[in-house]
Chain A
């Protein structure tokens, strides 16, 4: 890794990273804040949940009801909203870190200094990882802060499960971003890179959603990495964490490594 480059890139990207992180933290705290009022009505809400079609509940991750804070937050936030927001982030940032610099030509300056291509893109990958790590870290901390501020002892809050949930989300976005990073490394055109990685990421996301809604097409979920991240299963303790964590981590590492390898070997139109 090249430290001056890392510092400079973090400086450029910090604003957008913080925007995502603060947005996520606010939403989290808002959710924690309204949780007690919902928790009082848990019983009736759970009744309501039972009436809803099961497929719809599964799609939005509500099948655990609202019994504990994690099950509430896993359905209310991690199931859909956080996933969509961070998927956008994981498409945009990797594109900006490589394909954009190649497209507009400033990569020429980075490569005219005595730093290898491998080091340059590896540094960019580190910037990406720092970005998602910061967002998830701030999201996690805001969960704990919200708990300390608004929740009472009686409210059930399992810190371990909440942390597992956040690590799982981090690894999912590492994998999604890794794929975008690979696309970014082999693209000459910023818009094309954005389009392709966007199509892949949201394609995977939609496959997972559709697969959840109907049992008939549940097999679709075998073809998407989003099925490796199942907030409700993590909270209920049904998830195979070792398998999904290592698979997601592996996808992220491999795609980034392949991206760097391609970038080292290819012609750059600078």
Chain B
């Protein structure tokens, strides 16, 4: 349904994307993971036909997205990473305008989405918070029932409740057989919705894997606070990967070996365990290092 084939685009400053290839099947949710500035948005700009690849092509529904501008957009719903609307409009005014541009007559899905997202559409856009704008963008991306949905960092600005609702919406679209590409710099976001994911760094695809495989590769940091600092000392002598140790606090990096970690910690009285959220590079630190 969506095919990115050997796309290269080099910018003047030497950055860009290099030989990026992946494809997303119909009914699949594909995650596109990478730290900021890694080439996610550039790839998406090529998919949307905003940029011409130096080499390679992108096809949506068998149409080349650069050559078939104006045709291929019929099948695509798009949520930009940085949302900028036209000035001087209300949410509803903007959505209706986009609907007219899309040639959309049936506004029932628009109405339904507005209700579910609890969006006050009569607010002027310039008075909207980032989260509200994001909601307007989500409605605009989905209201014409597109077959392929491209979302650039969709949950930024949404509160946890809305993030959950968003995931629900994505799973519903997937159940309807829609093809979804979702870019993100957060593994948590991707693992809740995606079937497969690609990791991109410095413009190159590092890996494309099943989401379960990626989960097992993930490095998680746990901070364990023991009752006694002597226990902490003995704990650090285990085979676990100790990142940090001070008095009775120990930070451990775990990659798949949860059983070992549990068995080792349960030997001692524990006061507290915390999970650390890390950025993508830290999560896949071994993977990145292996590629270097």
Contact = CB atoms under 8 A, between A and B. Distances in A.
Contact of B80 (A2, A114, A117, A270): A270
Contacts of B78: 108, 112
A130 interface: no
B50 A270 contact: yes
Interface in A1-59: 2, 4-5, 8, 11-12
B71 A109 contact: no
Interface stretch (B82-90, B199-207, B224-232): B82-90
B70 to A, nearest CB: 3
B143 to A, nearest CB: 12
Contacts of B71: 114
A117 B102 CA distance: 14
Interface string B54-94: 00000000000000011101101010101111111000000
Contacts of B70: 114-117, 119
A116 B70 CA distance: 4
A48 to B, nearest CB: 49
B85 A108 contact: no
A152 interface: no
Interface string B38-63: 00000001001111100000000000
A111 interface: yes
Nearest to B11: A267
B27 to A, nearest CB: 22
B276 interface: no
A139 B56 CA distance: 54
A12 B86 contact: yes
A46 B51 CA distance: 62
Given A8-B86, A113-B98, A270-B50, A105 B80 contact: yes
B132 to A, nearest CB: 16
A104 interface: yes
Contacts of A113: 73, 98, 101-102
Contacts of B160: none
Nearest to B85: A106
Contact of B98 (A12, A109, A269): A109
Contacts of B140: 109
Contacts of A116: 69-70
B103 interface: yes
Given A105-B80, A108-B50, A109-B140, A4 B69 contact: no
A110 interface: yes
Given A112-B76, A117-B69, A106 B52 contact: no
Interface residues of B, number: 28
B268 interface: no
Interface residues of A, number: 26
B239 interface: no
Nearest to A109: B98
B237 interface: no
Interface string A242-270: 00000000000000000000000101111
A109 B48 contact: no
Interface string B247-287: 00000000000000000000000000000000000000000
B100 interface: yes
A11 B50 CA distance: 26
A103 to B, nearest CB: 9
Nearest to A265: B52
A109 B50 contact: no
B76 A108 contact: no
Contacts of A112: 48, 73, 76, 78, 80
B97 interface: yes
Nearest to A267: B51
Nearest to B146: A112
B88 A108 contact: no
Going nearest first, the 7 A-B pairs with the smallest beta carbon separation are: A116-B70, A105-B84, A4-B100, A113-B101, A112-B78, A267-B51, A114-B73
Given A12-B88, A108-B48, 14 more contacts: A11-B88, A106-B85, A108-B78, A109-B84, A111-B48, A111-B50, A113-B73, A113-B101, A113-B102, A114-B73, A114-B74, A116-B70, A267-B52, A269-B45
8 contacts: A106-B85, A106-B86, A108-B84, A109-B86, A113-B98, A113-B102, A119-B70, A270-B45
Interface of A: 2, 4-5, 8, 11-12, 101, 104-106, 108-117, 119, 265, 267-270
Interface of B: 45, 48-52, 69-71, 73-74, 76, 78, 80, 82-88, 97-98, 100-103, 140
